Every structure is written in C-alpha cells, then in structure tokens.
Structure 1
Amino acid sequence: MPIELKMPALSPTMEEGTLAKWLVKEGDEVKSGDILAEIETDKATMEFEAVDEGTIGQIIVSEGTDGVKVGAPIAILLGEGEDASSAKAAPKAAAPEAKKAEPAPAPKAEVAPAPKPEPEPEVKAAAVSSGDRVKASPLARRIAEQSGLDLSSVTGSGPNGRIVKADLEGAKAGGEAPAAKAAAPAAAATPAAASAPAQIPDIPHDAVKLSNMRKVIARRLTESKQTVPHIYLTVDIRLDALLKLRGELNKGLESRGVKLSVNDMLIKAQAVALMEVPSCNVMLAGDQLVTFGRADISVAVSIPAGLITPIIAGADTKSLSAIANEMKDLAARAKDGKLKPEEYQGGTASLSNMGMFGIKQFEAVINPPQGMILAIGAGEKRPYVVNEELAVATVMSATGSFDHRAIDGADGAKFMAAFKRLVENPLAMLA
C-alpha cells in the first residue's frame, strides 16, 4: 500500500516550513536513512530522512514551496510491486471526500443563532406606572426636565417602584456607557490597521520576501515586548584583569589549538552568576515559577537569514576551553544552517554581545520563556577610579533585561553585582 510522506515537525514549535530542495525524484529507490529533502524551519535548514524502503511514486509538493503545514502530504512512497498510477490516484481520491464533508455543518449554521432575549423585563421594570403615568417624586421630575431625561426608561428604587433623585444620577452615569461602548470598536480596529502592509513609496527599491526565520523573529520579539514587562539594569565593569588572564590562558592553550575569546569568558561569568543568584535563573510557566538547577546560556549569533541562539548547556560547570571549542563549532554550524533543534531551543538565559561592532551600550529584548538576557557593550579605555585614584582602565557596560513578572529588581541587581565581581576578579569563576 502506498505510504504518504508527510511534512515532519523538526522542532517542538514548528507549525509549517519551506520545502527548500528535493534530493530525490520520482522513480528513485530509497532505503531507510536516505536523505530525501532539505526543509527550512524557522531557525535552520534540516535534512528529512526516509524511514521506510521503497520507490518515490509521486512528489506532491514541489521544492521551493513555503508555508507547508506540518503533517501535510509531500510525497508518496511505493512499496514493492506497487506502481505509480495507484500512488497518483491516492491524493486526488482524498479531495472529493473532503469536499463532501464541507456542506454537513450548513444546516447547523442556520439553527445556530439562538433567539435573542428581548430586554422587555428591564423596560417593564423601568416604566413602573399607573396607567400611562410614571411614578416619580416631584424633585425627580424637575431634574428629569432640566436634564432632558426620559423617565419611562429609568428604573425606580423608591417605594412601589417610585423614581427618586438617586435613580436619575445613576441614569446620567449609565448614559455615558453607550458612547464608551461605541468607542471600543474603533480602538479595537487600531492594531489591525497598524498591522496592515505599509504603502511602499514610489522610490527605487528592492523587495525580498521574508524568510521563515525572519517571520518568527518578528513575531516572537513583538510578543516579548508586548507581553513581558522588561526592567533594565546597567553596570560598568573593568576588564583589565579578565584581559590579562585571557592572554595568559591563551599562551598555555596554544599547544591544544584553543583560543579563548572575551565572549567565552563572559558566558562562563554569566553562568556562574546565575548559579550564585538562582532567583534570576528562572522562567514563568503559566501559574508556576520554574527555577533551573544549571545554567544553559543561549548565545546570540548573527547569520545571513537573521539571528539564532545556540546553547552552551551547563556552562556553569564547563571549562573555558570546552566553552570555546563548543561555541566555535555551534557558531560555524549555525551560519551553515546545520544546527539540530535541541542545540538552539531551550536555554535558561541569553547573552548578546555587540561589543565587536563598537556599540557602547544597548538593551536586549528577552527571549521568552527565558527570564533574562544580558547585553554586552564594547570594552574601551575610560577614566576610571582605581584604588581611590583616577586612572585609565578598559571598561565595558553590561545591561541586564529582566522579566519583572518573574524577577524582582533587587534580585536583578544582585545578579548584575555578581556578574561584575566575577568579571573583575576572573579567577573566582574558575575555582
């Protein structure tokens, strides 16, 4: 029986992907483990392997097609003795049945609107009258005449439903409600209008379709800024001791072909600081606050398609040489789009370093569901007080962005103080 090959879910969050390239064609024989296609997810281009043996009977989704939903058929695999004609009939045969099923809900749709409850009980209660005369106190009648209020629409709270002064004050307040309600749809329409495609001015330009990665980056960062209350804390950190130690370590590691970067040492410092201040190594999960027992640092890496955050798992317990080697490998494979989902999904906190671009200070956007991200600026020579005297030192600014729902400002300040101390006294993070 022909087997439908379906769009795989190559990551836990993947809902759709781009079928970037077919590596087989119709009629090719494949066996388990053969690479059939390259699929572009929101973070990387990954290989789709065959699970069963057989012959490719039909390719349903052509290469280059984007927005292919997870679980959608993309090809037909024939077993031994099956021919292509039976394979090509299978997907087409499913379509009419799907169409037959569509009209079924139609009768229900006609019955769905329930009879609207008329507001008659309220009106009858409001117009408590004797014949056509509304019962109201003289003062209430005078106020109604001056205010232009219709007493027949007011509910009386006095004896026997008599309308009194207090009822008219409530009616005045209630009269403003319709205006407020009328304004609500206009306000609701604002986000929709803001999300509408912008009109491109008549200026020479190039327009490139957004990649899946760029779409996800746009969506996630927008959600982060809209739903996560950010609090920002900045410290200036003297780098001289860390730079000196880095030079000494690199001399000792030359024979092993390892070269530490400042970023490698900052990853280690952040991880150790998180373990010292565990209240910042957290995430908010619904009505639960999750505190992690190790520090997995997501490191922002710029690639041609956008930004990806490969993870150094357990950075608090790894040596600097191990972090350097792992970061070098992850960054290279990230740029080639060859990371596995588990290598860039997860993490307990993030680090983004823009110092190499000469950026002095910036505030990074939290990567949900993580609780914090550390933004690193450039190290530069600055006037700095050293041992109660003004001197010139190499100083960088570091800014922590914290999810204020999960992390209090005081805890964020403790983390920034711990990070500063570890960078200024780097031997402490190696002990």
Structure 2
Amino acid sequence: MAEIISMPQLSDTMKEGTVIKWNKKIGDQVSEGDILAEIETDKATQDFEIDTNGILLFIGVKEGETTRVNDVLAIIGKEGEDISHMISKLQSSKKEKNEVNFNQKNLEKNKKIFISPVAKKMAKKIGVSIDKIKGSGEYGRITKKDIEFYEKTELNKNILHSSIRKKIAKHLTYSKFSAPHYYLFSEINADKLMNFRKNLNEKLSLEEKISFNDIIIKAVAQSLIKHPDMNVSWDDEKIIIHPNIHIGVAVAIKDGLIVPVIKNADKKSLLQISKEIKDKALRSKSKKIQPEEIENSTFTVSNLGMYGIESFTSIINTPNTSILSVGSIVVRPIVKNNKIEIGNVMKMTLSCDHRIIDGAKGSEYIHSIKNFLEDPITILF
C-alpha cells in the first residue's frame, strides 16, 4: 500500500520547510537511506533521508515551495500502484481551501470603494488597482495622500523572508528585549599579536594558516577557564553553570548569519580550532552544516575586522549571557613608555546580560582576554 511521506520536523523549532532540491523524480526507485530531498528549515538546509523502499509516485511540494510540518511531501508505493484516490483527496482538500480564499476575495471585491477623483486618476497613472489600497478618509475613502503613501511604500521590490531570516529575527528580538544588555569597551596593543601570528604561519602550509580570529577564540576559551562564572546561562529559577566551553563563531551567509560551535575549544590547539572553523564556515555558507553543529554554545564571538569595522556592539546570542565583538587592527599613534609611537591597536566590545553578569565581573573577564592577546604566547600554556 502506498505511503504518504510528510514534511519532516528536522529541528525542535521547525514549523515549516522549503524544498530546495528533489534528488529523485517521479518514477524513480527509492531505498531506505536515500537522500530524497534537500529541505531548508529555520536553522539550516538539511538532507532528508528516506526510511522506506518503493517507487516515488507523487511529489506534493515543488522545488522552492514552502509547506508546514506534517503536510504531504510525497507518496511512495509499488510500481504501477493506483494512488488516484489519494491524490484526489489531497486536491479536494486544497480546492476547499482555495474556494474559501476565492469567496473571501469576491466579498472584498464587491464592496463599494470610495475614492476621490484625483486619487483615482493617480492610481490609474501608476497602474495600481484601487482595491489594493486602504483608504484613510471618511468611510474608508481613498485620498491623494493614500495613493502617495502606497506608491512610496508598496511599489518597492519585495523579497520573502527565508526560514533562516525569520529565525534570526525572532531570536535576536527575544534576546534584545528579554536580556538587559550593557557594553564594555577595551582596546589592545596588537603588536605582539601580529608578530605571533606571522611567526606561526611561517611554519605552516597555506591550508593551515592561522587567522587572528582563531587566536581570539583560543584566548576567549582560555579566559573562560580562569572565569567560569562567565560560562553561564540565565534561567528564571537558577543560574546554569556550564561544565564545557563551547564557543559560537558568527559566520555571515547569504540569508543572514549562522553561528557554528567549536565544542570544547579550551581543549583544542590553535591548528585544530583553525581547521574546524574553516570547515564549518564553508559548510554554513553552502547550507550543509547540521543542526547539532550550531547548538549548545556557551559564549559567542563576532568578528567584523575583515570588513574594516573598527568597533561595534552585538546582541547576545541567548541562552549565552555574553558576546565578544572584535574590530579590525588599525595603525595609529600610541603611548609607550611616555613616548608617542606608531603601533597596532584592536578594539573589542563585550556585551553582557546584566541579570547575571555584573560590571566588575565582565570587566575582569575582558581584561583577561586583553592580557592573553597582548602576550599571545601565553595562550599555548
């Protein structure tokens, strides 16, 4: 008997999915373990692995279309099996929904629309149907002002939000308005940091080159060892102290940003951190990273130095209680031994959740990072 394959819930927060690519076409044999399709969730694009055998008889969601979890994705059965009754039932259900929408539109269309002569002329000129415009005048009368407002705000190019963009918006809005943020600013002398990286990379192959970000992540992890009270999360009833140090690294992707996690970063060498970041950043941008690789961070680093940004603040990546924002290294006059010299400086900002991280605690932590980066050889011990 034919089996209906539903849109799977590929993450704990997934409510709908978008089919990016079908790897099988109608009539193809599918076997348990085959990758049937690539599906974009609110977190990443994932391979959907089928757990049944048979022939792909029906595709319910086209490439690029979005549907809710548990809606019909496909039908798999025996070769030549008659599934017309199943398709008919699905189409009937869709037809009922469409008829409801059609009737609602007709009711709206039959409503009398009041519009001033000037507004009517303007609407005709810009080529817009007046039933799309909400009037602000008496009895909903459309005025010249309404046409001008519509032309200004509605005739722009619209791009539908991706699942990832919706998730980012929801997550950051929650963080910003639930966690009382405050910010600590610090500047480091980056001369030794630059020499340290240069000396390391002279001994490494092109593929193994260490970035400034790799060193910063190691310094952040080492500082969390010294300040375990920063490696925490807020709960309404308790403070959660994390036994492991998992550093989230903000990575820019086409639809926004994603935060792959370097698990147990304090126990990994610079070279291991570097290789892992390169791999996860590459797979993040191609949407091949897995959900478990972007979960359970205990602290986050966001670095915009490569974009020439000298300093900035970041929204905390909850349930973390802090995030470090790192700017570019710039050359400028600095004071050394009471003399003005040319040096390299880098600015950092630590965003903290004031419910759990007080100013003194946050200050001690960012000072620890500063010490490691101004004498980076110490992060190796």
For residues 349 and 200 of structure 1, do their structure 2 counterparts lie closer, same or farther at Cα, with a shift above 3 Å needed? Answer: farther
Q: Deviation digits for residues 10-30 of structure 1, max 9, x if unmatched?
A: 222222221223222333220
1:351 equivalent in alignment to 2:351: no
Deviations 1:214-263 (A, max 9, x none): 12212221221111100101111111111111111111123x84100111
Aligned to 1:369: 319
Seq. identity, %: 41
Pick one of 195, 208, 211 that aligns with 1:244: 195
> How many residues of Structure 1 are paired with residues of Structure 2 in the alignment?
329
Who is 2:367 aligned against?
417
Indicate yes or no: 2:256 matched with 1:306.
Answer: yes
* 1:291 to 2:290 alignment: no
Q: How does 1:49-128 map to 2 (within 5 A)?
A: 49-66=49-66, 68-79=67-78, 82-85=81-84, 87-88=86-87, 91=90
What amino acid is the match of 1:23?
Answer: N
SS in 2 for 1:201: helix
Task: Indicate how the Cα distance of structure 1 residues 277 and 251 shifts in structure 2: closer, same or farther if over 3 A, else same.
Answer: same
Alignment-derived partner of residue 216 in structure 1: 167
More deviation, 17-26/260-269: 17-26
Contact 1:350–1:374, Cα closer than 8 Å, also in 2: yes
Cα displacement (A) at 1:344: 1.4
Alignment of 1:332-343 (within 5 A): 332-343=282-293
**Which of structures 1 and 2 has the bigger CA Rg?**
1
C-alpha distance in structure 1 between counterparts of 2:337 and 2:379, whole Å: 23
Letter of the aligned partner of 2:269 in structure 1?
A: S
Alpha carbons of structure 1 residues 70 and 202: separation in structure 2 relative to 1, 3 Å: closer
Which residue identity is paired with 1:283? S
Distance 1:297 1:200 in 2: 46
Code of the aligned partner of 1:278? P
Structure 2: how far apart are the matches of 1:297 and 1:56?
42
Residue matched to 1:5 = 5
Alpha carbons 2:7, 2:73 under 8 Å: kept: yes
TM-score (norm 2): 0.80
Q: Which of 273, 277, 284 is the equivalent residue of 2:223?
A: 273
Amino acid at match of 1:201: K
**For residues 55-82 of structure 1, what are the alpha-carbon distances to aligned partners after superposition, in whole Å with 9 as ceiling and x for unaligned?**
223222233222x222222112215784
SS of equivalent residue, structure 2 residue 182: strand
8 A contact 1:58–1:87 mirrored in 2: no
Write the letter of the residue equivalent to 2:87: K
CA change 1:246–1:30 in 2 (3 A) is same
Q: Which amino acid aligns with 1:244?
A: N
Task: Give the AA of the match of 1:228.
Answer: A
Find the residue that maps to 2:20 and give its secondary structure. Answer: strand
For residues 33 and 208 of structure 1, what CA distance do their matches in structure 2 show? Answer: 35
CA distance in 2 between partners of 1:199 and 1:293 (Å):
55
Pairs within 5 Å for 1:186-225: 201=152, 205-225=156-176
1:86-119 Cα distance to aligned partner (Å, 9 max, x none): 54356579899xxxxxxxxxxxxxxxxxxxxxxx
Range with greater deviation from structure 2 (218-227 or 421-430): 218-227
**CA distance in 2 between partners of 1:200 and 1:233 (Å):** 44
Check conservation: 2:2, 2:83, Cα contact below 8 A.
no
Amino acid across the alignment from 2:43: K
1:205 to partner: Cα distance = 4.0
Q: Following the alignment from structure 1 to structure 2, what is the Cα–Cα distance between the partners of residues 204 and 94?
A: 34
Relative to structure 1, the CA distance from residue 241 to residue 17 in structure 2 (aligned partners, 3 Å threshold; closer, same or farther) is same
Counterpart residue type for residue 18 of structure 1? T
Q: What TM-score comes out, normalization by structure 1 length? A: 0.71
Query: One-letter code of the match for 2:330?
Result: E
How far is the alpha carbon of 1:349 from its aligned partner? 0.9
Aligned counterparts of 1:380 and 1:64: Cα–Cα separation in 2: 44
Distance 1:63 1:253 in 2: 44
CA contact under 8 A between 1:275 and 1:294: conserved in structure 2? no
Aligned to 1:108: none
